[in-house]
Chain A
Amino acid sequence: DTAVSQTPKYLVTQMGNDKSIKCEQNLGHDTMYWYKQDSKKFLKIMFSYNNKELIINETVPNRFSPKSPDKAHLNLHINSLELGDSAVYFCASTPGEGRYGYTFGSGTRLTVV
């Protein structure tokens, strides 16, 4: 069983479209994250949710809206996609507060054309 699973793995879409990426973890973790890795390979945190509550929003445009229906799911909806949104998006989870390691998903490669 995959611990942190993301769908879809690849997403190609046109500018201006709205798209969603889904993330699910079966580890029983309380905290989930979205990271963005751009073409220069820098990994940057976007959002963090702890028990369905937003904890971190790192100056991400409001076109990006995370939604956590329950603590096992953290979805990312993107409105009015732009060329600069092209990147690999990674979901991750941790048990919560403490010195635990993160478990990452395998990523969603988003290409906006």
Chain B
Amino acid sequence: DAKTTQPTSMDCAEGRAANLPCNHSTISGNEYVYWYRQIHSQGPQYIIHGLKNNETNEMASLIITEDRKSSTLILPHATLRDTAVYYCIVRAAYSGAGSYQLTFGKGTKLSVIP
């Protein structure tokens, strides 16, 4: 899987948008961008994924640059419950070996401040 680079930590005021960047300059054409988060002492939680178009769901929006070398996860109105470590992962949907593993990096620790 291609490697990603994320800031170690970020702060966001409650109620404001949280914009979490991710660089993936070596991404391949068949690799998707996935975002997960891990709230303290819980299992990782899937947030969103995309290939090249921007995506939106009930949790967040994903903006992928045209060259696909970077992306931004947007939490439109951050709450205290969004405090977590956010992981950006790139991965091919079809590995050809029957293995679909996610490789986690260090992620970004987002602190939402009252």
Contact = CB atoms under 8 A, between A and B. Distances in A.
Interface band, chain A: 20 to 34
Contacts, number: 61
Interface class of chain A by DSSP? strand
A103 B45 CA distance: 7
A17 to B, nearest CB: 24
A76 interface: no
A43 B98 contact: no
A97 B100 contact: yes
B42 A107 contact: yes
Contacts of A44: 104
Indicate the member of B41, B51, B98 with the most A CB atoms within 10 Å.
B98
Interface of A: 4, 31, 33, 41-45, 48, 50, 55-56, 90, 92, 94, 96-107
